[in-house]
Amino acid sequence: MYCYGLDAHCDWIKVHRKDMLTGERKIFSVNIQSENFEKFQHRFTHEDFVTFECSTNSFFLYDQLNPFVKQTYVLNPRELGKAKMKTDKRDAKKLADKLSYALSLPDPLEELPVVYVPDPKVRELRRLFTTYNVLKSQIVGYKNQIHSLIKQHGKLVGKDTIENIGVKESILNMNIPDTVKVQVEVFYRLIDLLNQEVHGIKDCILKTGDVFSHEIYLLTSIKGISVFGAIAIMTDVATVERFKDAKHFCSYLRTAPGVDASNKTVKITSVSKVSRKLAQQTLIQCICHFKAGSKKIEEFYNRKIQGKPAGKVRMAVARKMMVAIFHMLKKNELYYYTDKKKHEQKVKEYENFLKKCA
């Protein structure tokens, strides 16, 4: 039985192999792009363990190696610490030694900061949402450029209205230099092109998100959460079964505050910014709908807003809704304050969309 510590890069892997019985070690390199990689895969047995740090191609590496070994662990590099002397050989050795020590414990996961590896469909959705957000941010950037050009010549137009047809026509007919008008026209063409691409990506997300059909049915019972929003939330969650309680659920999804406690001093710190944020952003955008859909949420918001920053109050409401979502998914229940008519309408529209795509 061997422990393998891999320091993986896009093209090469530095491998440190440790024999769990004799302690014998071997260090070698493997080119991922060559035929040697296939030979490397067939060196493993189903008694071996592999570990490496999470990086851009770590899930690809996981898919390539996990079928050949007993277990593959993808580790969070943030929780491993930084060595004073860092080389590929040292990193691979550190990973192999950490894995070897963890396997000697009753529960290896107590020692290993393991990263959850979602199934391929969830990974596809995460990549699609990344592309969707990149395109949306580019649109915002081009709108800001138009706003800046107009403002430099003494014209004022609201940023949020720049895409409106009437506003667009008035901007193009303004008494501004031709050089500025050319730039504005270019930015408008780019915005129109990006909007088309955004719609295409969104449709792809809705089709791929059918993998969460039951979860979508549950989450869309909440006023303000659309099918697209439900898919966004589940893309971060993947499966609620991996969370033991609502506290861990909220912490992973960036809605639980941190705690800094020492002796008799306890400080509540801001939420962690190293976990996934798509679900949190989705809920923050729906705060007004949550208030309108439940008197309890509205009362909670009004009570908290007294003397507190609006941002913290919105986060508190998002956390409260995240707890509700956790229990809905765990208990397989609809939202308590469901508007049945609107919920059925959301579900029906999504079903019709999927039928058209079929």
- Give me the pLDDT at residue 126, please: 95
Distance CA 230, CA 233 (A): 5
Residue 286 backbone phi and psi in degrees, to 5: -105, 10
Question: How would residue 267 be classed by pLDDT, with cut points 50, 70 and 90?
Answer: low
- What pLDDT digit, counting tens, does each position of 286-302 carry? 999 999 999 999 999 99
The SS3 call for residue 242 is helix
33 or 268, which is more confident? 33
Side-chain-facing half-sphere of 121: CA atoms under 13 Å: 14
Listed range (65-69, 85-89, 118-122) with the worst mean pLDDT: 85-89
- Give me the pLDDT at residue 260, please: 65
Is residue 30 a contact partner of residue 11, using CB atoms and an 8 Å limit? no
Question: How would residue 66 be classed by pLDDT, with cut points 50, 70 and 90?
Answer: very high
Mean pLDDT across the stretch 139-162?
88
Rounded (to 5) percent helix, strand, coil in the chain? 60, 15, 30
HEC string of 34-98? CCHHHHHHCCCCCCCEEEEECCCCHHHHHHHHHHHCCEEEEECHHHCCCCCCCCHHHHHHHHHHH
Helix or strand holding residue 9 (H, E): none
350 or 84, which is more confident? 350
Distances (CA, A) of 135 to 50, 140, 191, 199, 202: 37, 9, 10, 10, 11
Listed range (9-18, 149-158, 246-255, 293-302) with the worst mean pLDDT: 149-158
- Give me the pLDDT at residue 235, please: 96
Q: Evaluate if residue 228 carries a pLDDT over 70.
A: yes
Is residue 72 a contact partner of residue 58, using CB atoms and an 8 Å limit? no
Mean pLDDT across the stretch 35-46?
91
Is residue 58 a contact partner of residue 52, using CB atoms and an 8 Å limit? yes
- Give me the pLDDT at residue 18, please: 94
Angle between helices 178-208 and 227-237 (to 10 degrees): 70
Q: Evaluate if residue 264 carries a pLDDT over 70.
A: no
Q: Evaluate if residue 15 carries a pLDDT over 90.
A: yes
